[in-house]
Amino acid sequence: MKKLNLTSLLILVIFLFSACKKDAVDYSAYNAEHGTHIGDGPGGTGGTTNQTAIYYFKGTLAGKALSWVVNADESSGWVSGSAAAGSRDMGVNIMGLTALLSASEGFKPQLGVEFRTVKYNFDADKSAVFNSFITTGAWPFAASDDYVVDKKVLIIHYTDANGKGYSSIGAQTAADPNVSTITKVPPELGRNESLKVKLTFSCTLYPVDGTGSPVPLANAEALVRMENLLN
């Protein structure tokens, strides 16, 4: 079996962002819980409020507060997307699914929340597999980049504005990430069925290339879109 490199895959699927069609959603519950957000423009420093957020990421990275907001028409400087990576052998697929949130300009910086490991046969009901895979509750951090069948783990991927990649693979002292809500979004023209996944987490991010210092990410909360990319 051949394992795909996630970084390369994200480049291959980046077109998903420009092709995204917006969800028709009710924002009242989100606004009641989170209020307004400061975060227009790449880096979340535009200084204006946004009342129509449909996806977001906020937390403290290396001591700096971040607030990335994807609004309904994706005019806030941030976009959502999805990616998939894994292997196929004798009709059996072993994969990880990643929800992405990126700056619309150059897709950097970018956050990726990867859920592993889903296994299914080529003739399986892909919708049933997809909708049963991600569940609420704790998701332990992955200890390695291996795809371990029948083990559910999570990896946080981060790419900074300069394109340097980090991941949560490595020693972690924080509690396991927690998925609090999952909302089904039906398919529509130009987009497969999706899940809106809300989770909280803190972690240490390690440089993927092995150079430089780890970066702490604390008190992170995200609402991300995971599209069904099983095939």
How many C-alpha atoms does 176 have within 13 Å on its Cβ side? 14
Burial of 109 (0-12, 13-18, 19+ CB in 10 A): buried
Range 189-220 burial, b when 16+ CB lie within 10 A, else e: eebbbbbbbbbebbbbbbbbeeeeeebebeeb
pLDDT tops 80 at residue 50: no
Q: How many other CB atoms are there within 10 angstroms of residue 108's CB atom?
A: 15
In this prediction the pTM is 0.78
Spatial contact of 54 and 72, defined as CB atoms under 8 Å apart = yes
The overall average pLDDT reported for the chain is 82
Mean pLDDT of 52-56: 79
The pLDDT of residue 53: 62
Element (H, E) at 64: strand 64-71
List, for residues 88-122, the tens digit of each pLDDT value. 999 999 999 999 999 999 999 999 999 999 999 99
Model pLDDT for residues 69-86, shown as the tens digit of each residue: 998 888 899 999 999 999
Amino acid sitting at position 90: M
Joined tokens for residue 6: 């996630």
Inform me whether the pLDDT recorded for 17 exceeds 50: no
* 6-15 pLDDT per residue, tens: 433 343 333 3
pLDDT, one tens digit per residue, over 174-224 is: 999 999 999 999 998 888 999 999 999 999 999 999 999 999 999 999 999
